[in-house]
Structure formats: structure tokens, C-alpha cells
Amino acid sequence: MMVANQVIVQARMGSTRLPGKIMLPLLEKPVLEHVIARSSAALKVARVVVATTDLPEDDGVENWCRSYSVPCVRGSSEDVLARYVNVLREFPCKNIVRITADCPLTDPGIIDAMLCIHETMHNDYTSNVIPPTFPVGFDAEVIGSEVLRQVDQKAVLASHREHVTLYIRENLEEFKTANLSLGESFEHFRLTLDHDEDYQVLQKIFSYFRDSDGLFSLYQILGFIMKHPEIASINSAIDRFEGAKKSAAMEHRKLKWE
């Protein structure tokens, strides 16, 4: 069924930096479950689909999704852009919200705000990362499905295939874009999951909000970590763009914003 807006969560078990991270427990629930629950809470989102790989190690991801009635589409482990296009064939929509499965604090309010901007301005691409002002782990991107199909035809570099929107971010002049900003930069806070240090930080945050309904907001989280700089310091040395930089370096180039 065609819907207006759907979240596509890219998820895989084979992370090189922290294998199996999407199924690590936070308050007795796997990280992936938190990502899906928080994405689904956005009022303008009609559907959440998990895009995982066709590798045997991700059979468990598909089985988990089936158990919880979450749509799941499988595809290339390396060509993540093609994986997104596969989702569109099976689950068509007008706009895609790209969320990665290592962001268990994804904020539904941010998703709704970005969809409002995207639809009102008739954008091709709307993000909150150009420039980034939100903490790492609250990144979100909205892409028109037809725009994504165009990118699929244009993107030839391996880095552009692996990092779904990197072609857009390195060729902004080709697209109508907008960026959601906090007004003040909190990008130095790292609230995503790529390393064991990240997991330590997330465990402390989820433990603090244990008695909430699970939808504690960005502002509540910022209030907590600003009172506890010792927590924020645990993973503060990790580079926000380490994955994209590594992919670009393999092509003997730098990202355009480096």
C-alpha cells in the first residue's frame, strides 16, 4: 500500500566496530525495538520498515521483525542504497525518513518537524546534519522517493552506495534542500551506538529514565547529560563521521566538507 511517509531503518548484525549491537539490551529490550518504537511514535509516519541484509547472520533480524509484525526487506550488505530502493518496490511511499538502527534515542518530534519542513517547502532532501547541531544519534533525513531513485541511477562510488545520502550531501547544488537546526550546537554529545563506550553512555541514560513511558525527549536527555559531564566524556573522543571518512579514504579521497 502506498503511504505518504515511512521510516526505513537500516539494520544489520555485522557491525565491524560493535558486532550485534542492534540486539544489545537496553532496559530488557533490544536496541532495534527502541528505534522502531520511537520512530513509530512520530505522528506523520504511516509505516516503519526494517531494511536488513541478505547475509545468513541477519536471519535473526528478519525473524525478530516477523515476531513483532514489523515489515522487513532484505538486500545487499554493501550496497545499502540498493537496499532502500528494494524497500520502495515492496513498500511504496512518497517520502522516506532514513534512520539507522544504532540510534535508540531517535526523537519522534524531530521526525515530525522535518517532515513538516520537507512537505511545506516541497524539498528533495531535508536533514538536520548540514550543518549538524543535534547530538550524534538524533540524525534524521527525509528524501523524496523519486529523488532516491534518481540518486540510485547517479551514484557510482562505493561510498555513495554504502552511505545512502552521501551523494546528496556531496552534491547539494543538484537538489532542493533544507536543514533543521537547534539554534545552539550540541553536536559534541554522542548518543549513538558504534562502540562499547557508546553502549556505556546509553545504558546510563536508559537507566535514569527507567520509569518513563520510553519516549523521553531530546530536551530531557540534554538536561540529564549536561548535569553529568562525566557521562558525556565517556565517548567524547569518537569522530562523528568516522564511517564515511573511512569509506572515502578507501577511494583515495576526502569528504567534501573535510
Domain 3-249 has CATH 3.90.550.10: yes
pLDDT of amino acid 170: 96
Task: Read off the C-alpha cell for 162.
Answer: 554504502
Mark residue 185 as left, alpha or beta (left: phi above 0; alpha: psi -120 to 50; beta: remaining).
Answer: beta
Do residues 202 and 38 lie in contact, with contact meaning Cβ atoms separated by under 8 Å? no
Per-domain residue ranges of the chain: 3-249
Q: Whole-angstrom distance between the N-terminal and C-terminal Cα of the chain?
A: 41
Pairing status of strand 72-75 against strand 25-26: unpaired
pLDDT at 258: 62
Counting as low any pLDDT under 50, the low residues of the chain are none
pTM: 0.94
93 bridge partner residues = 3
Question: What is the reported pLDDT for 257?
Answer: 61
Q: Is 17 helix (H, G, I), strand (E, B) or coil?
A: coil
CA gap 142, 42 in Å, rounded: 13
